[in-house]
Each structure stands twice: as structure tokens, then as C-alpha cells.
Structure 1
Amino acid sequence: MNWQTTRFNIDLTQARVMGIVNLTADSFSDGGQWLDSRAALRHAEQLLREGADLLDLGAESSRPGAQPVPAEQEWGRLQPVLMELARWGMPLSVDTCKPEVMQRALDAGVDVINDIQALQQEGAVEVLARYPAAGVCLMHMRGEPRTMQALTSYADVVTEVREFLGERMRVLRAHGLQPAQIALDPGFGFAKTPEQNLELGRRLVELHGLGAPLLVGWSRKSTLGWLTGRSVEQRLPASLAALLAAVSQGARIVRVHDVAATVDALRTWQALQPLHGQSIP
């Protein structure tokens, strides 16, 4: 399986690590640390040294209760970092919901649009349709960050996530996007209770029938704190366990803060997989 993006056809035969570069003042884990463009570029360089396969730049927080950022302010944060990173020759993703920001990022050569609202804003699908090689990640979420945690009533969370993502894929296909361009994110932590996040994590394999690679983000999530009693800065072991559980169910892109530890965990996990045809006694 490969993921077609603007400049790169990314091989997903093994899980790929997406390093997070937050250009925000209020993200739940590291808000404000990389708001300065020079600090953000140093952080991006560090993530690449640690083994990130691609970088995801976000300039608007999506933590529960986060306030929206005007498009001009969001782009003002993104532009200097994105324009420099575009010269570095590695896959770049921009985490945004706004069609105008998507347009500017794609014009600058970004490889992937990562949208927590799955291109539901008016005009977003049309923007992507104008870039026939660009990659896109569609995530499941109800509402928006300010309201999502009040929208957690599901008959069956896995079924509803699967149906939502399937419908969004059909919309994109109707606008000419090809399956090879699309990745799907179940949206752990977005409009879901801790119990629902765990149910979705246990049944992740049920999303494979949609026919697109899965991108997962478990890194430092509040559900892991609920499960372990650990603060944000103490959640690395739980984050690694959660992402390995996701990869064992076929997730192909893992979006993380802690790249070096993730690369080591994946390398070790992959090296210890049973040989083909070997059975467990």
C-alpha cells in the first residue's frame, strides 16, 4: 500500500512516523513551545534527526474547548515555517480545516492536508480536487473543538465512525480524488469519551474495509491519563503501548510528539514479529 501525496508516493508497507510541529499558543501538550518560527524549524530538524518520515504542521489548536483562529493569523504562523521546510525535501502535512489555508499551503507545495473536520467546510473538497496528486487525511469528529465533548452519544461508536468516514470518502471520490490519495483517522479523543476511545482502539481493524490506510493519533491523549492516572508529561509509555496496539491492527501512519521513542519502539516491535507461517504454541 502507498499513499499518493503532492511530491511523494509514500510506501506504507511499514508504519510511518508523522512528527508533530505545533505552531500554536494553546495546544494541550506543547502549546507555545514552537510558536516562534526559528524554534519551530529547530524542532522540525530535531524530529527529522530522530527518524520522522513526515512532519505535520498545525497553527490552530484542536484541544477540547479551543477557540478558533482567524485564517490570516493561522496562515501567518504557518507561512515562514512551511516555506522553509518545503525546501528540505521531506513530506509535509498541514493540519487545517480552512479552505483558504489549504489553498495557500497546497500552492506552496505541501504534500498532505490533514483535516480534523474531514473537508466538511464549504469549498474544502473543491480545493483538494484542484490538486490531483495531493494527499489528504480525513478525521472523524463531531462539532468543533469548542463543542465536541458534549457530542459523545453513539449507538455504536465504531459503526458510526466507519459510516462517517466511508461517506466522506464517497464525497471525495465524486469530486475526482483517488483512493490512493486518502488516509483515514478515527479521531481518538475527538467527540468521544475515554471508554469510547478504548472501544474504538480495540476494534480498529473494523475500519480496514473502507480501503484506505489508517492514521492514528494516540500521543499523550487524555484518555491515556484517564487510564493510567498520569499527567501529560508522564504519558510516553502509555502512548507507545497504544500506538503499537494500533499498528498491530494495521495502522500505517502514527502521529506523535515523541519521535525518537516511537521509532525505537516500532523498530523493536517489527524485529520481534513471528516469521511468516510461524505459529504460537
Structure 2
Amino acid sequence: MAEIFGILNITADSFSDGGKYLNPDEAIKKGIQLLQEGADWLDVSGQSSNVEASLVSEEEEWNRVEPVIRYFVPKGVRISLDSFRPAVQKKAIEAGVRCLNDITGFTYEGDREFLKTYNEKHPDLKFIIMHSHNRNIANKKSNLTPEKVTKKIQVYFRDRRNELLSLGISESAICYDPGMGFFLSEDPMVSFKVLQDLEILKLEFPQLMVSVSRKSFLGNVLGQLPVTEREFATLACEIHLLKTKIPYIRTHNVLKLRQAEKIWNLCQENE
């Protein structure tokens, strides 16, 4: 079974649910819902990464996520922090977060030696390296093509893995997210090529995390579907992830994915 990361965006401008959970009570309520639906982790973010997003201060980012972390960690809930800022990552680890999901692949300016220190203190920490063509917030401008994208991702993962290993982080603690949608290119076929090549990526990087939830490339190939109408496309794509046995799936709609997973597994029992 895949481990499911339920997306909890505590932001004003996330492309799918910006502004819905800025109130801590609403964010906690949503977190409880995701857990009840079957999430293994809550993937919490206080800084949007979509192409139209604005950078908030580190203080504001932390203030958004702290109440949720403080509420769930004492209850034994596993929290992943979706943040690329070392200062926010440090505070989160100190508050009990045990997974860092970094869209820059831990390349953002600032101290990264702290990763070694905290890894020694907390050997259960996970580190998710995400690939992005610009190593930052999503950007429509990209020179990636379907023919080149998989090799580019492999080279990037190797580079980032080597740095984390040099900091004493074990390979078993590192997960890899190839990035999708505008993290790759405005051309949807670039994302579909990655999905077609997941088995190739898994050979070298078995601990893959993939998030296709409601992303632009799904809407673009179906006649510019708005975000609110991408649920069926998302689920079709996530069933492909189940078929490919991706170990970690990050999604907005945990319930639909868990239901699909149950039916998929029952269909495969005699194979």
C-alpha cells in the first residue's frame, strides 16, 4: 500500500484551495478530515509554490503552520513540512515534524549544515528532494522537453542525493519527487513523459513520491479544465501511480484515493 500524504495548504494563494484554511481552527478541522479519510501524513504548507504565488515572510510562514503542528504532533500524527526555508524547517523539526518536503531540493540559500545536526538527533527524519526546472516556485518558462526530462531528473536527483549523503543522511531517509506540472514545463506532455518513465526512475530512486493532484497538465489536455473539475483526471492518474507501486502519493482528495486503492487491490488479488 502507498503511504498517502494529505495536502494541507495554509496559504492565501495556493492554486487549488488558497485562503480556505488560513484560520487555524479551519486548518485543524481539515487536517482531522484528511486523517479520518486515511492519510498517513499531513503535508503542511504555509508558503504557496504555484506560479502566481507571492513570497511571505519566514515569520508569517511559520505562524501559519505552527498551530497545526502544535495540535497534531502531541497526538502522534506524522507531519511533513512543505517548506524550502531553513529557518522554518529548523523550527518545525524542533516542534516535532519528522519529514521535510523541499521544492528546491535543499538548495535554497542559507545554512544546510543544520540538516546534519538534526539528522543525528532525530534518525527518523525523512527528506523529500523535489525536482523543479528552476529550483524554486513553479515557473511556466522551461526548456525541458519530453525527450530530455527523465535524464534531467536523474542527474538532479544524483546531485542532491550526494550532498545529503555527504551530510551524514542515510539513503533510506531520502525520498524523491520528480515534480509535475509547472515545476517541469507548461507543456503537459513533459509531465506525462515522467509518468510513463516512472519505472525507469524507480530503478535508481525507489523511494519516489509523486503528486499529480489537480495539477495544470491534467486540465490542459482536457480542454483547459478548471481546478474544480480535475478530480476524475487526478484519480485516473493516481491509479497509474498505484499500478506502478509508487510508495508515496501526495494528494488533496485522500478519500477518493483510498477508495480507488481498495478497489484496485481487490481487482488484482488473483494476479
* TM-score, scaled relative to structure 1: 0.89
Task: Name the CA distance, whole Å, in 2 between partners of 1:105 and 1:212.
Answer: 26
Task: Name which of structure 1's ranges 22-31 and 245-254 shifts more when overlaid on structure 2.
Answer: 245-254
1:228 pairs with 222, 237, 252, which one? 222
Q: What aligned pairs does 1:37-48 form with structure 2 within 5 A after superposition?
A: 37-48=24-35
Equivalenced residue count is 263
Does residue 23 in structure 1 map to residue 10 in structure 2? yes
Q: After superposition, what is the alpha-carbon deviation per residue over 1:104-163, rounded to whole angstroms, capped at 9, x for unaligned?
A: 000111010000000002345322222222111000002255662212334610110111
Runs of at least 4 residues off by over 6 Å? none
Counterpart in the other structure of 1:139: 130
Percentage of pairs with the same residue: 33
Question: Per-residue deviation at 1:247?
Answer: 2.5
Counterpart in the other structure of 1:258: 253
Counterpart in the other structure of 1:58: 45
Q: After superposition, what is the alpha-carbon deviation per residue over 1:19-77, rounded to whole angstroms, capped at 9, x for unaligned?
A: 01100000000000011100000000011111111110000011113221211110111
1:201 pairs with 195, 200, 223, which one? 195
Task: Name the CA distance, whole Å, in 1 between partners of 2:100 and 2:111.
Answer: 10
Structure 2 CA distance for partners of 1:144 and 1:25, relative to 1, 3 Å:
farther
Structure 2 CA distance for partners of 1:147 and 1:44, relative to 1, 3 Å:
closer
1:86 pairs with 52, 73, 82, which one? 73
Structure 2 CA distance for partners of 1:100 and 1:150, relative to 1, 3 Å:
same
What SS is found at the alignment partner of 1:119? coil
Task: Name the CA distance, whole Å, in 1 between partners of 2:98 and 2:142.
Answer: 32
What root-mean-square deviation, in Å, do the aligned CA atoms of Structure 1 and Structure 2 show? 1.5
Counterpart in the other structure of 1:4: none
Structure 1, gaps ≥5 residues long = 1-13
Q: Which amino acid aligns with 1:232?
A: V
Counterpart in the other structure of 1:109: 96
Task: Name the CA distance, whole Å, in 1 between partners of 2:46 and 2:268.
Answer: 38
Structure 2 CA distance for partners of 1:191 and 1:152, relative to 1, 3 Å:
farther
Task: Name the CA distance, whole Å, in 1 between partners of 2:137 and 2:33.
Answer: 32
Task: Name which of structure 1's ranges 136-145 and 253-262 shifts more when overlaid on structure 2.
Answer: 136-145
Counterpart in the other structure of 2:165: 173
Q: Which amino acid aligns with 2:230?
A: R
Q: What aligned pairs does 1:207-218 form with structure 2 within 5 A after superposition?
A: 207-218=201-212
Question: Per-residue deviation at 1:191?
Answer: 3.1
Structure 2, gaps ≥5 residues long = none
Structure 2 CA distance for partners of 1:124 and 1:46, relative to 1, 3 Å:
farther
2:175 pairs with 170, 179, 183, which one? 183
Task: Name the CA distance, whole Å, in 2 between partners of 1:211 and 1:226.
Answer: 29
Task: Name which of structure 1's ranges 262-271 and 208-217 shifts more when overlaid on structure 2.
Answer: 208-217
Structure 2 CA distance for partners of 1:179 and 1:146, relative to 1, 3 Å:
closer
What SS is found at the alignment partner of 1:148? coil
Counterpart in the other structure of 1:160: 152
Confirm or deny: 8 A CA contact 1:97 1:117 kept in the other structure: yes
